[in-house]
Amino acid sequence: MVKNMKKIIDLHQDLLLYLKHPELYSDTKENRVQTSFEKLKENNIKVAIVSAFPVPEKEEYTNPITNIQITTELETYNQYCVTHPEFVIIKNKEDLDRIFSTDGLYGLILHIEGINSFDPNTDWLLLEQWYQLGLRSIGPVWIINNPFGGGTNDEGGLTSLGRDLITWCEKKGVIYDFAHMNEETFWDATRIVTRPIFVSHGNARALADSVRNLSDAQLIKISETGGCCGIFFAKKYLGGDPEQGIEVILEHALYIISITGKESIAIGSDFGGIISGFIKGCESVDILQDFIMRMPSEMQEKIASLNALRVIRSHLK
């Protein structure tokens, strides 16, 4: 079955979060499963950027215990790959190319979504520890402000520590993810990065008016740098009529292409972390192959993997 499927690169999944807390993220009425390691294989998702997303007690996201939770989650991904050798943690371009071109292998790029507690006197060493565990993608902010800059629900731009993190990422070959930035932080960061802008998951604000989505100006800036944006499948950030099903998501994809051209769009499904509801029929990674095949023929390979592959290679060593 996989032989007839497109190879997929998914720029954002909250895989471990979902496996730890399925009761929070599943459509229990239909008993659907958003994602799993087995579903990555079943749907020919050759590479997935998978998050370490800590959930502290009482949702105190700035609690330093979140760093311990991040370490534990990165270790858990490593342990899974030891016991399931068909999964490999991608650490460089060579790993990426080998996994993408080899049948039976699947790659994980380890990602942190929001480093909300960071002591510059001690935690650079922690960042190096995470790097040794395979961390190769960082989304510095989430929905709240933190030591690096402003998240989508807050004000304030990129901090001096945020600038230092960009330098660290580019030196180490770590993807720097613009997802969840407020506009001020986004534009501040664009003036510093030297690599193509990478947005793991973000939709078109023109079609769904949310600060979580991207303005036309932001989409144009992404394309000007040779970067890409992964379209994601959460109903709240798609707008339209959820009963229309996959057509709502296709509308976003085609709109972004009309703004950026064909080279700057990818898939960043956000499956595993969607708690705000689904477009009808689009409740799991099982929809991704159908989504790709409904795109114009000249776009199918590009949105499935080729655009993402190019941009990820530009960041890794």
Both structure tokens of 291: 């989504």
Q: Which residue has the tokens 């990129």?
A: 158
DSSP tally for the chain: helices H, then strands E: 13, 9
Average pLDDT of the residues in 105-110: 98
- Determine the structural domain holding residue 265 and report its residue range: 2-315
Average pLDDT of the residues in 275-301: 95
- Segment 126-152, tens digit of pLDDT: 999 999 999 999 999 999 999 999 999
Q: Which residue has the tokens 């009309």?
A: 258
> Residue 101: how many CB atoms within 10 A of its CB?
10
Q: Which residues contact 160 (CB under 8 A, 6 or more apart)?
A: none
Pairing mode, if any, of strands 87-89 and 45-52? unpaired
The number of folded domains in the chain is: 1
Could you give the C-alpha distances from 93 to 81, 189, 194, 301, in angstroms and in order? 19, 24, 18, 20
| pLDDT above 60 for 190 | yes
What percent of the chain is modeled with pLDDT above 70? 96
- Segment 32-57, tens digit of pLDDT: 789 999 999 999 999 999 999 988 77
CA atoms within 13 A on the CB side of 261: 10
Both structure tokens of 148: 């690096």
Q: pLDDT averaged over the chain?
A: 94
| pLDDT above 50 for 28 | no
Q: Name which residue leads in pLDDT, 23 or 158.
A: 158
Can you state the angle between helices 183-190 and 216-224, rounded to 10 degrees? 20
Pairing mode, if any, of strands 87-89 and 106-113? parallel
CATH of the domain at 83: 3.20.20.140
> Residue 164: how many CB atoms within 10 A of its CB?
13
Cα distance between the two ends of the chain: 33
pLDDT-based confidence at 4, cuts 50/70/90? confident
Instruction: Determine which helix (DSSP H) or strand (DSSP E) holds 13, and give its type and residue range.
Output: strand 8-13
pLDDT-based confidence at 71, cuts 50/70/90? very high
- Asked whether the whole model's pTM tops 0.85, one would answer yes
DSSP code, position 2: G
What type of residue is 122? T
Both structure tokens of 184: 């001020």
pLDDT-based confidence at 1, cuts 50/70/90? very low
The answer to whether the Cα torsion of 105, 109, 110, 113 is positive or negative is: negative
